[in-house]
Amino acid sequence: MATTDRRTAVGTGVGFVVILVWCLLPVVWILSLSFKGVDETAAGSPQFLPKDWTLQNYKDILANPDFLDALRNSLGISLIATLLSVVFATLAAYAIARLEFKGKRVVLSIALAIAMFPVVSLVGPLFDMWTAIGLFNTWPGLIIPYMSFTLPLAIWTLSAFFREIPWEMEQAAQVDGATSWQAFRKVIVPLAAPGVFTAAILTFFFAWNEFVLAISLTTTTGSRTVPAQMSFFVGPDPFNPPYGQLATASVVVTVPIIIIVLLFQRKIVSGLTSGAVKG
Amino acid sequence: MASIEMKNIVKKYGDGFPAVNDVSIDVADGEFVILVGPSGCGKSTLLRMIVGLEDITSGDMVIGGQRMNDLAPRDRNLAMVFQNYALYPHLSVYENIAFPLRLKGDVPEQEIDTKVREASKTLELDEHLERKPGNLSGGQRQRVAMGRAIVRDADAFLFDEPLSNLDAKLRGQMRTEIARLQKRLGITTVYVTHDQTEAMTLGDRVAVLKRGVLQQLASPRQLYTNPVNLFVAGFIGSPPMNFLPATVEGNTLSLPFGSVEISEERAAKARDRGLLIAGIRPEHFEDASVVDTRGGTTFTASVDFVEWLGNESYAYIPFEAPPEVTEKLLELEKDLDGDAMRTQMVVSLDGASRITEGDQAEIWVDTSKIHLFDPSTGENLTVDAGNAGSSPALEPAHAGGAHAAQ
Ligand SMILES: Nc1ncnc2c1ncn2[C@@H]1O[C@H](COP(=O)(O)OP(=O)(O)O)[C@@H](O)[C@H]1O
Ligand SMILES: [Mg+2]
């Protein structure tokens, strides 16, 4: 027994290391690149760790007005899209989970179909429409398509959460003197919080990382987001992309994601509903 | 504080099936009324119509003199304890109890605190106020649910099987606690249960329901001594009443184990009706050797099996029944949602009785306590109508009891 236990432990450990290396190597490589000077990144066979550690890339990028604009756009667009998406999804999912109405299945199926629609196929039509109605190269011009791609998933996730919450919770609140809206806000939403945060994170990631629409529906740094802006980086050598700068930009845009995950991770605690009913 | 009058309440769900059918119950101010019946008889539906969680198909729900049919739950000022407690898991015990007060919006923080602490003291929840419901035991959660009900100064309490999730010992404790609390607060209470013990011990009056129809509304004692039909007779009492095939000729009642003389008054009500069902409670029998046998009759029967419990013992005596009676008893047992009642009689004997298995024992029976039921309608022919509370079966319009027995 003891030997099998040890072997299992060793095997598990080795497995973890392999997976960690596999996943983290590119990240470490980008980190390492961001601390290298231009000479090193331009060299034919750059080594893994920087020879001379430098913060020059960070200084440059944080002094680059285009990047800062793009960062502002990314933050603004992603946050607004997330907020609206979560609010709408919460209301819609609640209706789907709680109300009996005709065409419920249709709504859900259409939502799913939209989520599976390839983004690229929408670029052309959206470009035409947006130029026609003046949404081209604006924040709403990106926020709207982002919402339409993230809402379906958010609605599905959230309605699953709402369905888990016992009806009695809400009825108890109503008997206690709550209006339907108060019951929803004070009892149902807090109980669905893990679902709300999950939906929020999914939406934010999608909007934050999205590239195809971002590059097709914008022309200036007035609305271009970071992933799109990065493709416009030019270094001193026009034939060589500025790897150091790109890596640094990647690191900078990854930081908010990590912060958000760490913040919300604590909110996404399972078993929040335990103890609601007899348990 | 308010009275609750239900007038001809009907509830039909989407499929048209009447879950509650023409039920009229009036609950006086401060009274403790129990709704009891087997699972699926419509007790919860009726309770939920009182509180406003279920629409009323027809009839009037009058609370405190005001017709409430169309009012939202929050406008009725009633407090309800749910079967599963329905505590808010994201709020502490304190906040759970304070929840209804906070919703009112105009109660000062100071007053909320006073009321919550008062409730928690009454219910012995003081050391749990900061905990979340998920970390409490079943009995504690139950008390939090009660706390949420009592802080509100509601007009009435409604309970939906509040003890069904607790183990037997705790159930007994909470039962007395609820009774004490209700007496102390003097608040109108409607309490739903499927447990006849709870019904008998808690209620000022008990309403027995069967498939959505009110069978009898009476005090526990009246229900026990004067059930209006087979259903109520079989539902109330544990071990249940014995049902035996019987015929009456003259003043003689023939039972499977022999004939007994009954009073003229009783015999007159049941004479010449052919085959009847006699209902005799186990404790109306006794070992003839330990009892003064005057005022009753004795008979000899072979005892199949004896359970001795110390203070008393139960003897089981098998008997033969004609198919009409067995059929009726099978139907009854299905209505009661209970265990198979075999054609055997349960006889409660004094603890001092020496009767054992296989004996030919001499048993005494109190003939004045025998009820006689019409096997086709289930109606109790020997009911003392003046002492049986109210029942649709006792009203002139439904004379014959056909309605109650459907
Ligand atoms: N929402 C509903 N829709 C349709 N039928 C229902 C609904 N709720 C209860 N019923 C039916 O109404 C009857 C009474 O139910 P209920 O009041 O819950 O019974 P009890 O509480 O006495 O066990 C049952 O036959 C049940 O199937
Ligand atoms: Mg019920």
Give A266's pLDDT tier (boundaries 50, 70, 90): low
DSSP string covering A144-205? HHHHHHHHHHHHHHHHHHHHHS-HHHHHHHHHTT--HHHHIIIIIHHHTHHHHHHHHHHHHH
B67 and B123 belong to one structural domain: yes
Residue A231 is assigned to a structural domain of this protein: yes
Out of B73, B84, B165, the one facing A175 most closely (by C-beta) is B73
B42 and B185 belong to one structural domain: yes
Closest to B345 measured CA to CA, from B231, B247, B264, B258? B258
Q: Is B13 in the pocket of ligand 1 (CB under 6 A)?
A: yes
A190 contacts in chain B (CB < 8 Å): 90
pTM (2 d.p.): 0.82
Structure tokens at A224: 């271009």
Range of the domain at A131: 65-274
B265: CB partners within 8 A, 6+ apart: none
Residue A111 is assigned to a structural domain of this protein: yes
Residue B248 is assigned to a structural domain of this protein: yes
Sheet holding B305-308, edge to edge: B305-308, B312-318, B344-350
How many whole angstroms separate alpha carbon A98 and alpha carbon A104? 11
**CATH number of the domain encompassing residue B277:** 2.40.50.140
A16-45 per-position pLDDT tens digit: 999 999 999 998 989 998 998 877 877 766
Who has greater pLDDT, A99 or A73?
A73
Closest Cα in chain A, distance from residue B175 (Å): 18
* Residue A234 reports pLDDT greater than 90: no
Q: Do B79 and A175 touch (CB under 8 A)?
A: yes
Q: Which residues of chain B have pLDDT under 70?
A: 293, 339-342, 396-406
Interface test with B, best of A100, A161, A175, A270 (most B CBs within 10 A): A175
Cβ–Cβ < 8 Å for B285, B347: yes
Residue B180 is assigned to a structural domain of this protein: yes
Say how many domains are in chain A. Answer: 1
Closest to A97 measured CA to CA, from A195, A164, A152, A183? A164
Residue B393 is assigned to a structural domain of this protein: no
Total Cβ atoms within 10 A of residue B260 = 20
Residue B101 is assigned to a structural domain of this protein: yes
How many whole angstroms separate alpha carbon B380 and alpha carbon B279? 9
Range of the domain at B186: 4-223
CA angle B66, B84, B236 (to 5 degrees): 75
B306 and B246 belong to one structural domain: yes
**CATH number of the domain encompassing residue A120:** 1.10.3720.10
Give A77's pLDDT tier (boundaries 50, 70, 90): very high
CA angle A114, A115, A119 (to 5 degrees): 85
B119 and B42 belong to one structural domain: yes
> Residue range A215-242: average pLDDT?
85
Residue A47 is assigned to a structural domain of this protein: no
B252 and B358 belong to one structural domain: yes
How many whole angstroms separate alpha carbon B147 and alpha carbon B164? 18
H helix runs in chain A, sequence order: 2-34, 38-42, 56-62, 65-98, 104-116, 120-133, 139-164, 167-175, 180-183, 189-191, 193-209, 212-216, 226-230, 243-265
Residue nearest to ligand 1 atom 6, measured at CA? B13
Residue nearest to ligand 1 atom 9, measured at CA? B45
B141 and B72 belong to one structural domain: yes
End-to-end Cα separation, chain B, in angstroms? 36
B213 and B68 belong to one structural domain: yes
CA B110 remoteness from chain centre: 42
B49 and B129 belong to one structural domain: yes
Nearest-by-CA chain A residue for B165: A278
Out of A176, A187, A278, the one facing B138 most closely (by C-beta) is A278
Residue A74 is assigned to a structural domain of this protein: yes
Total Cβ atoms within 10 A of residue A251 = 18
B368 and B275 belong to one structural domain: yes
> Are β-strands B312-318 and B344-350 bridged in parallel, bridged antiparallel, or unpaired?
antiparallel
B111 and B170 belong to one structural domain: yes
Q: Do B88 and A168 touch (CB under 8 A)?
A: no
DSSP B368: G
B280 and B366 belong to one structural domain: yes
A274 contacts in chain B (CB < 8 Å): 89, 134
B141: CB partners within 8 A, 6+ apart: A275, A278, B85, B87, B133
* Residue A276 reports pLDDT greater than 60: no
Cβ–Cβ < 8 Å for B376, B387: no
Residue nearest to ligand 1 atom 8, measured at CA? B45
Residue A73 is assigned to a structural domain of this protein: yes
* Surface-to-core class of residue B73, CB atoms within 10 Å of its CB (0-12 exposed, 13-18 middle, 19+ buried): buried
Dihedral-angle region of residue A271 (phi above 0 means left; psi in -120 to 50 means alpha; beta otherwise): left
Model pLDDT, residue A274: 39
A128-162 per-position pLDDT tens digit: 999 999 999 999 999 999 998 889 988 988 888 88
How many whole angstroms separate alpha carbon B34 and alpha carbon B208? 8
Residue B396 is assigned to a structural domain of this protein: no
Out of A173, A177, A277, the one facing B104 most closely (by C-beta) is A177
B269 and B332 belong to one structural domain: yes
Model pLDDT, residue A273: 42
Q: Do B80 and A172 touch (CB under 8 A)?
A: yes
Output the average pLDDT for chain A.
Answer: 86
Residue A1 is assigned to a structural domain of this protein: no
Cβ–Cβ < 8 Å for A121, A212: no
Give A231's pLDDT tier (boundaries 50, 70, 90): confident
Total Cβ atoms within 10 A of residue A136 = 18
Residue A24 is assigned to a structural domain of this protein: no
DSSP B380: B
Is the peptide bond between B256 and the residue preceding it cis, with omega within 30 degrees of 0?
A: no
Q: ipTM of the assembly?
A: 0.83
